[in-house]
Amino acid sequence: MADPAATCPGHPEAPALKSTVVAGKPYEAEETDEAQDEGFKPLTHEEAKKVRELNPPFSLWSVWAGQVGVGIVVAALAWLVTGQARMGWSAGYGALAVIVPAALFARGLSRQKSAMHGNAALAGFFVWEMVKIALTVAMLFAAPRLVEGLNWLALLAGFVVTMKVYWVAMWFGPARKKSINNF
């Protein structure tokens, strides 16, 4: 038989319940000695708002715009340095193999901002990431048929340099101003 103290919230020996509001709905959580020992304190609405203001979200579209710019520069440089149009087209197609799937990924995630559950948002992220990878692979397989005189080295250079924009964007992106621990 189950312990009445564990199953009945009104029982005198039942663990203390702390009532809070999560996503606009009341939520009762069991207070544990662990949470009290670690000094865990949930943020108030005002504190959470301040943290969001100090740390704006990172825009996928700004990263995408950076990829487009870098892709154009790489294709132009490949053309100018070698003097061969096919090198520019190859590098440009390599950049497109990153840019087109990234645009689809960003659009898919943008439409999911209203996901109410974390699991749904996570599943959506993985679905769109798989779509992005599948489209990238399909574009790379189609490259020999679409780009006349394809140079794989130039394609790879355009692909890799454009892909590295993610890292550059994280490096130069908006710096986190304050941590939550400062509240």
Q: What is the mean pLDDT of residues 28-38?
A: 53
Give pLDDT, residue 55. Answer: 74
Which residues 6+ apart lie within 8 Å of 164 measured at CB?
none
Instruction: Give the rounded distance of the alpha carbon of 18 from its chain centre.
Output: 33
Tokens 């990238």 label which residue?
Answer: 136
What is the reported pLDDT for 36? 52
Is the pLDDT at 12 greater than 60? The verdict is: no
Cβ atoms 105, 131 nearer than 8 A: yes
Q: Is the dihedral of CA 131, 127, 102, 154 positive or negative?
A: negative
- Rounded average pLDDT over 52-62: 78
Report residue 47 as tokens.
């504190």
Among 27-31, 56-60, 103-107, 115-119, the range scoring the smallest mean pLDDT is 27-31
DSSP 182: G
pLDDT tens track for 39-48: 778 888 888 8
How confident is the model over 133-180, as pLDDT tens digits? 999 999 999 999 999 999 999 999 999 999 998 888 777 766 555 555
Is residue 90 over pLDDT 80?
yes
pTM, rounded to two decimals: 0.65
